[in-house]
Structure 1
Amino acid sequence: MTPTFRHADSCDMANVSRFYEDVWHETYLSLMDDRELKSWRARRDWRALPAGNGSVVIAEHEGRLVGFGACGPARDGELGTFGEIYAVHVARPFRSRGIGSALMGRMAREFAERDVSGVGLWVFHRNVTAVVFARSLGAIVAGSRGDTHGAGHTELALVWPKAGDLALFDDGQHRLAQSGSGHGLGLMPFAPCIPACK
Protein backbone atom coordinates (compact mmCIF):
# COMPACT_ATOMS: atom_id res chain seq x y z
CA MET A 1 0.00 0.00 0.00
CA THR A 2 1.46 3.34 -1.06
CA PRO A 3 -0.45 6.35 0.28
CA THR A 4 -0.27 9.78 -1.26
CA PHE A 5 0.39 12.86 0.84
CA ARG A 6 -0.71 16.40 0.16
CA HIS A 7 -1.54 19.65 1.88
CA ALA A 8 -5.17 20.03 2.81
CA ASP A 9 -7.10 23.11 1.80
CA SER A 10 -10.33 24.47 3.21
CA CYS A 11 -12.30 22.12 0.97
CA ASP A 12 -10.88 19.16 2.89
CA MET A 13 -11.57 20.44 6.37
CA ALA A 14 -15.09 19.07 6.88
CA ASN A 15 -13.82 15.59 6.00
CA VAL A 16 -10.75 16.04 8.23
CA SER A 17 -12.98 17.14 11.10
CA ARG A 18 -15.21 14.06 10.80
CA PHE A 19 -12.15 11.82 10.56
CA TYR A 20 -10.63 13.48 13.63
CA GLU A 21 -13.80 12.97 15.68
CA ASP A 22 -14.08 9.29 14.72
CA VAL A 23 -10.42 8.39 15.31
CA TRP A 24 -10.10 10.49 18.45
CA HIS A 25 -13.20 8.90 20.00
CA GLU A 26 -12.03 5.41 19.04
CA THR A 27 -8.62 6.03 20.61
CA TYR A 28 -9.69 7.60 23.88
CA LEU A 29 -12.82 5.54 24.53
CA SER A 30 -10.59 2.79 25.91
CA LEU A 31 -8.55 5.22 28.03
CA MET A 32 -11.28 7.19 29.82
CA ASP A 33 -14.69 6.72 31.33
CA ASP A 34 -17.64 8.63 29.84
CA ARG A 35 -17.32 11.60 32.21
CA GLU A 36 -13.61 11.98 31.54
CA LEU A 37 -14.12 11.56 27.81
CA LYS A 38 -16.64 14.39 27.69
CA SER A 39 -14.42 16.68 29.76
CA TRP A 40 -11.33 15.97 27.66
CA ARG A 41 -13.28 16.17 24.41
CA ALA A 42 -14.18 19.79 25.18
CA ARG A 43 -10.47 20.61 25.24
CA ARG A 44 -9.78 18.68 22.05
CA ASP A 45 -12.40 20.20 19.80
CA TRP A 46 -10.93 20.26 16.28
CA ARG A 47 -12.32 23.76 15.73
CA ALA A 48 -10.15 25.02 18.60
CA LEU A 49 -6.95 24.27 16.67
CA PRO A 50 -5.38 27.43 15.24
CA ALA A 51 -5.77 26.23 11.68
CA GLY A 52 -5.77 29.74 10.19
CA ASN A 53 -2.04 30.00 10.84
CA GLY A 54 -1.09 26.38 10.46
CA SER A 55 -0.70 23.53 8.04
CA VAL A 56 -2.63 20.30 7.62
CA VAL A 57 -1.13 17.37 5.73
CA ILE A 58 -3.37 14.50 4.74
CA ALA A 59 -2.61 10.91 3.72
CA GLU A 60 -4.94 9.25 1.24
CA HIS A 61 -5.25 5.74 -0.09
CA GLU A 62 -7.35 5.18 -3.21
CA GLY A 63 -9.00 8.55 -2.65
CA ARG A 64 -9.86 7.81 0.98
CA LEU A 65 -8.56 9.86 3.89
CA VAL A 66 -6.51 7.52 6.10
CA GLY A 67 -4.52 9.98 8.19
CA PHE A 68 -3.67 13.61 8.82
CA GLY A 69 -1.34 15.83 10.78
CA ALA A 70 -1.79 19.46 11.82
CA CYS A 71 0.97 21.82 12.91
CA GLY A 72 1.87 25.47 13.30
CA PRO A 73 3.27 27.96 15.80
CA ALA A 74 3.24 26.85 19.44
CA ARG A 75 0.01 27.92 21.09
CA ASP A 76 1.69 28.96 24.33
CA GLY A 77 5.09 28.94 25.98
CA GLU A 78 4.55 25.81 28.07
CA LEU A 79 5.83 23.41 25.42
CA GLY A 80 9.14 25.25 25.21
CA THR A 81 9.35 25.14 21.40
CA PHE A 82 8.47 27.55 18.61
CA GLY A 83 6.71 24.89 16.54
CA GLU A 84 3.90 22.60 17.68
CA ILE A 85 2.30 19.51 16.22
CA TYR A 86 -1.34 19.94 17.13
CA ALA A 87 -2.58 16.53 16.04
CA VAL A 88 -1.55 13.42 14.13
CA HIS A 89 -4.04 10.60 13.58
CA VAL A 90 -4.13 7.51 11.39
CA ALA A 91 -7.14 5.24 10.86
CA ARG A 92 -6.73 2.01 12.81
CA PRO A 93 -6.63 -0.34 9.76
CA PHE A 94 -3.75 1.72 8.33
CA ARG A 95 -1.56 1.94 11.41
CA SER A 96 1.90 0.37 11.66
CA ARG A 97 2.51 1.06 7.96
CA GLY A 98 4.72 4.12 8.33
CA ILE A 99 1.98 6.67 7.66
CA GLY A 100 2.18 8.31 11.07
CA SER A 101 5.96 8.70 10.96
CA ALA A 102 5.75 10.02 7.39
CA LEU A 103 3.19 12.64 8.44
CA MET A 104 5.39 13.66 11.36
CA GLY A 105 8.42 13.88 9.09
CA ARG A 106 6.62 16.04 6.55
CA MET A 107 5.41 18.48 9.19
CA ALA A 108 8.88 18.63 10.75
CA ARG A 109 10.42 19.33 7.34
CA GLU A 110 8.18 22.36 6.95
CA PHE A 111 9.47 23.69 10.26
CA ALA A 112 13.08 22.92 9.36
CA GLU A 113 12.78 24.65 5.99
CA ARG A 114 11.56 27.77 7.80
CA ASP A 115 14.39 27.66 10.34
CA VAL A 116 12.03 26.74 13.18
CA SER A 117 14.37 24.63 15.27
CA GLY A 118 12.39 23.09 18.13
CA VAL A 119 9.09 21.28 17.66
CA GLY A 120 6.94 19.39 20.13
CA LEU A 121 3.51 18.08 20.97
CA TRP A 122 1.35 17.38 23.99
CA VAL A 123 0.30 13.78 24.59
CA PHE A 124 -2.20 12.47 27.13
CA HIS A 125 -0.10 10.46 29.59
CA ARG A 126 -2.39 7.44 29.45
CA ASN A 127 -2.01 7.18 25.69
CA VAL A 128 0.99 4.88 25.96
CA THR A 129 0.86 4.03 22.26
CA ALA A 130 1.26 7.71 21.30
CA VAL A 131 4.04 8.24 23.84
CA VAL A 132 5.96 5.19 22.59
CA PHE A 133 5.41 6.30 18.98
CA ALA A 134 6.83 9.78 19.60
CA ARG A 135 9.74 8.38 21.59
CA SER A 136 10.51 5.93 18.76
CA LEU A 137 10.92 8.98 16.50
CA GLY A 138 13.42 10.52 18.90
CA ALA A 139 11.24 12.73 21.11
CA ILE A 140 12.34 13.53 24.63
CA VAL A 141 9.97 14.05 27.55
CA ALA A 142 10.54 17.71 28.39
CA GLY A 143 7.86 18.22 31.03
CA SER A 144 4.24 17.74 31.94
CA ARG A 145 1.19 19.73 32.89
CA GLY A 146 -2.00 19.03 34.73
CA ASP A 147 -5.55 19.37 33.49
CA THR A 148 -6.79 22.92 33.94
CA HIS A 149 -10.30 21.50 34.35
CA GLY A 150 -9.26 19.64 37.48
CA ALA A 151 -10.21 16.20 36.18
CA GLY A 152 -6.84 14.71 37.10
CA HIS A 153 -5.50 14.37 33.56
CA THR A 154 -1.84 14.89 32.75
CA GLU A 155 -0.24 15.74 29.44
CA LEU A 156 3.38 15.07 28.59
CA ALA A 157 5.46 17.52 26.55
CA LEU A 158 7.29 15.49 23.91
CA VAL A 159 9.93 17.57 22.16
CA TRP A 160 12.45 17.43 19.32
CA PRO A 161 14.98 20.24 20.01
CA LYS A 162 15.95 20.10 16.32
CA ALA A 163 13.06 19.77 13.85
CA GLY A 164 15.55 18.45 11.33
CA ASP A 165 15.97 15.29 13.40
CA LEU A 166 12.28 14.49 13.08
CA ALA A 167 12.27 15.58 9.42
CA LEU A 168 14.49 12.60 8.66
CA PHE A 169 11.33 10.47 8.79
CA ASP A 170 10.13 12.24 5.65
CA ASP A 171 11.93 9.85 3.33
CA GLY A 172 11.22 11.99 0.30
CA GLN A 173 9.50 9.15 -1.56
CA HIS A 174 6.17 10.92 -1.41
CA ARG A 175 6.42 14.61 -2.22
CA LEU A 176 3.54 16.72 -1.01
CA ALA A 177 1.10 17.58 -3.75
CA GLN A 178 0.70 21.30 -4.12
CA SER A 179 -2.52 23.25 -4.25
CA GLY A 180 -3.90 24.44 -7.55
CA SER A 181 -2.04 27.74 -7.17
CA GLY A 182 1.26 25.87 -7.15
CA HIS A 183 1.98 26.67 -3.51
CA GLY A 184 1.71 24.40 -0.50
CA LEU A 185 0.02 25.67 2.61
CA GLY A 186 3.23 25.77 4.60
CA LEU A 187 2.51 27.87 7.66
CA MET A 188 0.17 30.14 5.76
CA PRO A 189 -3.61 30.49 6.04
CA PHE A 190 -5.73 27.86 4.33
CA ALA A 191 -6.49 28.36 0.68
CA PRO A 192 -10.06 29.48 -0.07
CA CYS A 193 -12.54 26.80 -1.04
CA ILE A 194 -13.31 27.13 -4.72
CA PRO A 195 -16.71 26.23 -6.21
CA ALA A 196 -15.34 22.99 -7.67
CA CYS A 197 -14.89 21.54 -4.17
CA LYS A 198 -17.22 18.75 -3.21
Structure 2
Amino acid sequence: MMNETLLGAVLLLLLGLGILVVVTDRLFTAVVYSAALSACIAFGYLLLGAPDVALAEAIIGSALTTVIYLATLKKYRIFTIRCLPGDTRKDPLFSKVLEVISRSLKDHDLEAHLIESRGNARTLLERPDTDLVAEKRKDGIYLYGEADSQYLGRIREQLIKAGLDGEVRIVDTAPTRIAAYKGKSI
Protein backbone atom coordinates (compact mmCIF):
# COMPACT_ATOMS: atom_id res chain seq x y z
CA MET A 1 0.00 0.00 0.00
CA MET A 2 2.80 2.40 0.96
CA ASN A 3 4.65 1.55 -2.26
CA GLU A 4 1.57 2.28 -4.42
CA THR A 5 0.97 5.63 -2.71
CA LEU A 6 4.61 6.59 -3.21
CA LEU A 7 4.46 5.50 -6.86
CA GLY A 8 1.32 7.60 -7.36
CA ALA A 9 3.10 10.62 -5.87
CA VAL A 10 6.09 10.02 -8.17
CA LEU A 11 3.78 9.83 -11.19
CA LEU A 12 2.14 13.13 -10.24
CA LEU A 13 5.57 14.69 -9.81
CA LEU A 14 6.57 13.35 -13.24
CA LEU A 15 3.51 14.95 -14.79
CA GLY A 16 4.26 18.29 -13.13
CA LEU A 17 7.94 18.25 -14.09
CA GLY A 18 7.09 17.23 -17.66
CA ILE A 19 4.77 20.21 -17.99
CA LEU A 20 7.42 22.53 -16.52
CA VAL A 21 10.03 21.28 -19.01
CA VAL A 22 7.72 22.10 -21.91
CA VAL A 23 6.32 25.47 -20.78
CA THR A 24 9.44 27.13 -19.37
CA ASP A 25 10.89 29.84 -21.60
CA ARG A 26 14.49 29.59 -20.37
CA LEU A 27 16.65 26.79 -21.73
CA PHE A 28 18.79 26.48 -18.60
CA THR A 29 15.70 26.08 -16.42
CA ALA A 30 14.30 23.49 -18.83
CA VAL A 31 17.52 21.46 -18.53
CA VAL A 32 17.31 21.56 -14.72
CA TYR A 33 13.66 20.43 -14.82
CA SER A 34 14.61 17.71 -17.29
CA ALA A 35 17.31 16.42 -14.93
CA ALA A 36 14.82 16.37 -12.05
CA LEU A 37 12.34 14.55 -14.30
CA SER A 38 14.93 11.92 -15.13
CA ALA A 39 15.82 11.47 -11.44
CA CYS A 40 12.12 10.94 -10.64
CA ILE A 41 11.87 8.39 -13.43
CA ALA A 42 14.86 6.55 -11.95
CA PHE A 43 13.16 6.57 -8.53
CA GLY A 44 9.96 5.24 -10.15
CA TYR A 45 11.91 2.34 -11.69
CA LEU A 46 13.37 1.61 -8.27
CA LEU A 47 9.88 1.50 -6.76
CA LEU A 48 8.77 -0.86 -9.53
CA GLY A 49 11.57 -3.29 -8.66
CA ALA A 50 13.97 -2.58 -11.51
CA PRO A 51 17.14 -1.32 -9.81
CA ASP A 52 19.36 -1.95 -12.85
CA VAL A 53 17.13 0.19 -15.08
CA ALA A 54 16.90 2.82 -12.30
CA LEU A 55 20.69 3.00 -12.08
CA ALA A 56 21.05 3.32 -15.86
CA GLU A 57 18.42 6.08 -15.94
CA ALA A 58 20.10 7.92 -13.08
CA ILE A 59 23.54 7.77 -14.67
CA ILE A 60 22.60 8.37 -18.29
CA GLY A 61 19.40 10.39 -18.00
CA SER A 62 20.09 12.54 -14.97
CA ALA A 63 23.84 12.95 -15.01
CA LEU A 64 25.34 12.45 -18.47
CA THR A 65 22.54 13.99 -20.51
CA THR A 66 22.33 17.00 -18.21
CA VAL A 67 26.08 17.61 -18.49
CA ILE A 68 25.88 17.39 -22.29
CA TYR A 69 22.93 19.80 -22.43
CA LEU A 70 24.64 22.29 -20.12
CA ALA A 71 27.89 22.13 -22.11
CA THR A 72 25.94 22.73 -25.30
CA LEU A 73 24.06 25.68 -23.80
CA LYS A 74 27.32 27.23 -22.65
CA LYS A 75 28.67 27.12 -26.19
CA TYR A 76 25.48 28.14 -27.95
CA ARG A 77 24.78 31.77 -27.27
CA ILE A 78 22.18 33.72 -29.21
CA PHE A 79 21.96 37.44 -29.90
CA THR A 80 18.34 38.18 -30.80
CA ILE A 81 17.65 40.95 -33.29
CA ARG A 82 14.00 41.83 -33.68
CA CYS A 83 13.17 43.43 -36.99
CA LEU A 84 10.09 45.56 -37.48
CA PRO A 85 7.90 44.38 -40.40
CA GLY A 86 8.61 45.51 -43.92
CA ASP A 87 10.59 44.50 -46.99
CA THR A 88 13.82 44.53 -45.03
CA ARG A 89 15.10 41.14 -46.17
CA LYS A 90 15.01 42.26 -49.82
CA ASP A 91 16.76 45.57 -49.08
CA PRO A 92 20.47 45.32 -50.03
CA LEU A 93 21.51 47.90 -47.42
CA PHE A 94 19.66 46.07 -44.67
CA SER A 95 21.22 42.76 -45.76
CA LYS A 96 24.68 44.32 -45.69
CA VAL A 97 24.09 45.76 -42.20
CA LEU A 98 22.92 42.35 -40.94
CA GLU A 99 25.98 40.71 -42.46
CA VAL A 100 28.25 43.18 -40.62
CA ILE A 101 26.34 42.58 -37.36
CA SER A 102 26.60 38.78 -37.76
CA ARG A 103 30.33 38.98 -38.45
CA SER A 104 31.03 41.19 -35.44
CA LEU A 105 29.00 38.90 -33.15
CA LYS A 106 30.87 35.80 -34.31
CA ASP A 107 34.00 37.29 -32.75
CA HIS A 108 32.18 36.94 -29.40
CA ASP A 109 30.89 33.43 -30.19
CA LEU A 110 27.35 34.72 -30.57
CA GLU A 111 24.90 33.67 -33.23
CA ALA A 112 22.65 36.41 -34.58
CA HIS A 113 18.99 35.44 -34.88
CA LEU A 114 16.78 37.77 -36.87
CA ILE A 115 13.12 37.62 -35.92
CA GLU A 116 10.49 39.71 -37.63
CA SER A 117 8.22 41.07 -34.91
CA ARG A 118 5.16 43.25 -34.76
CA GLY A 119 4.95 46.26 -32.47
CA ASN A 120 7.23 49.19 -31.93
CA ALA A 121 10.85 49.38 -30.83
CA ARG A 122 10.00 50.41 -27.26
CA THR A 123 7.71 47.44 -26.56
CA LEU A 124 10.07 44.99 -28.25
CA LEU A 125 13.01 46.20 -26.19
CA GLU A 126 11.06 45.62 -23.00
CA ARG A 127 11.13 41.91 -23.77
CA PRO A 128 13.98 40.18 -21.92
CA ASP A 129 14.77 38.01 -24.97
CA THR A 130 15.55 40.98 -27.23
CA ASP A 131 19.09 42.30 -27.60
CA LEU A 132 18.63 44.66 -30.53
CA VAL A 133 15.78 46.06 -32.62
CA ALA A 134 16.35 46.97 -36.27
CA GLU A 135 14.04 49.23 -38.21
CA LYS A 136 14.25 50.31 -41.86
CA ARG A 137 13.12 53.89 -42.44
CA LYS A 138 13.27 56.18 -45.43
CA ASP A 139 16.33 57.98 -44.07
CA GLY A 140 18.27 54.82 -43.19
CA ILE A 141 18.38 51.93 -40.77
CA TYR A 142 17.89 52.43 -37.05
CA LEU A 143 19.35 50.07 -34.50
CA TYR A 144 17.86 50.30 -31.01
CA GLY A 145 19.98 48.92 -28.21
CA GLU A 146 21.96 49.77 -25.11
CA ALA A 147 24.80 52.04 -26.23
CA ASP A 148 27.16 50.94 -23.45
CA SER A 149 26.81 47.26 -24.41
CA GLN A 150 30.12 45.72 -25.46
CA TYR A 151 28.38 44.02 -28.37
CA LEU A 152 26.75 47.18 -29.70
CA GLY A 153 30.09 48.97 -29.39
CA ARG A 154 31.71 46.26 -31.49
CA ILE A 155 28.85 46.43 -34.01
CA ARG A 156 29.30 50.21 -34.25
CA GLU A 157 33.05 49.77 -34.94
CA GLN A 158 32.38 47.23 -37.68
CA LEU A 159 29.72 49.44 -39.29
CA ILE A 160 32.23 52.32 -39.40
CA LYS A 161 34.88 50.04 -40.96
CA ALA A 162 32.34 48.92 -43.58
CA GLY A 163 31.51 52.56 -44.36
CA LEU A 164 27.90 52.17 -43.24
CA ASP A 165 27.96 54.58 -40.31
CA GLY A 166 26.21 57.29 -42.38
CA GLU A 167 23.40 54.90 -43.29
CA VAL A 168 22.85 53.43 -39.81
CA ARG A 169 21.79 55.25 -36.68
CA ILE A 170 22.19 53.68 -33.28
CA VAL A 171 19.63 54.77 -30.70
CA ASP A 172 20.49 54.28 -27.02
CA THR A 173 17.63 52.53 -25.25
CA ALA A 174 19.26 51.90 -21.87
CA PRO A 175 16.91 54.31 -20.00
CA THR A 176 13.85 52.59 -21.51
CA ARG A 177 15.08 49.10 -20.59
CA ILE A 178 16.11 50.07 -17.07
CA ALA A 179 12.69 51.62 -16.44
CA ALA A 180 10.96 48.54 -17.86
CA TYR A 181 12.93 46.24 -15.55
CA LYS A 182 11.94 48.36 -12.56
CA GLY A 183 8.30 48.45 -13.63
CA LYS A 184 8.24 52.15 -14.47
CA SER A 185 7.22 53.85 -17.66
CA ILE A 186 8.95 56.82 -19.28
TM-score, normalisation: structure 1: 0.25
Larger radius of gyration: 2
Q: TM-score of the superposition, structure 2-length normalised?
A: 0.26
Larger RCO, structure (CA 8 Å, separation 6 or more): 1
Q: Where is the strand percentage greater, Structure 1 or Structure 2?
A: 1
